[in-house]
Amino acid sequence: MAVERTFAMFKPGVLQRRIVGELISRMEKKGFNIVAIKLMRIPMEMAKIHYEEHREKSFFESLTNYIVSGPVIAMVLQRENAIATLRKICGATNPENAEMGTIRGDYAVSTERNIIHASDSPESAKREIGLFFKEEEIFPFEDGNEHWL
Ligand code: CMP
């Protein structure tokens, strides 16, 4: 299977709830390499671009207001089949439908504040990585774990 990169973002509230380490640990244990990471506050213009596909939806304004309301942690994660695998460990968008054992199933309550964003396709991953990171901010590494994972 091909090595892929995907974009992940811990939404506002994750830092305040002090669960950053637990969430990152789940990703590391599942074999993701963190090849870029940034703590930041998203400017409103960037939030609107990131959620462009939802511009016509009723929740667009409240979603963008929420995503700029506090610091987020943006990441580029790399492994084989990264995009589908990360979506799987995040669970369904609506936490009510997310299986226990997934990030949203275990930590989230509402759809809008579903604590993590994960790219849904190769096209989204490329677009979102490009929106949040410059190429020189991404650091792939050899971890030597191929034998064990
Ligand atoms: P995310 O994976 O960040 O991508 C789009 C976001 O829109 C989604 O997670 C939810 O946080 C939000 N969203 C999707 N559907 C709804 C909805 N019906 N009401 C409020 N927010 C929504």
Domains of the chain, each with CATH number or no CATH = 3-133 (3.30.70.141)
Is the minimum distance from the CB of 111 to ligand 1 under 6 angstroms? yes
The span from the CA of 38 to the CA of 48, in Å, is 19
* pLDDT for the residue numbered 117: 98
* pLDDT for the residue numbered 67: 98
Q: Mark whether 117 is an active-site residue.
A: yes
Residue from 50, 54, 117, 147 carrying the catalytic annotation: 117
How far does the centroid of ligand 1 lie from the alpha carbon of residue 141, in Å? Answer: 32
* pLDDT for the residue numbered 1: 83
**How many Cβ atoms are within 10 Å of 20's Cβ, its own excluded?**
13
Is the minimum distance from the CB of 59 to ligand 1 under 6 angstroms? yes
Mean pLDDT in consecutive groups of 10 residues from the start of the chain, 149 residues: 95 98 97 98 98 97 98 97 98 97 97 97 98 98 85
* pLDDT for the residue numbered 64: 98
Q: Please, is 77 exposed, middle or buried when counting C-beta atoms within 10 Å of its C-beta (0-12, 13-18, 19+)?
A: buried
Return the ∠ at Cα 13 (arms to 58 and 125), rounded to 5°. Answer: 65
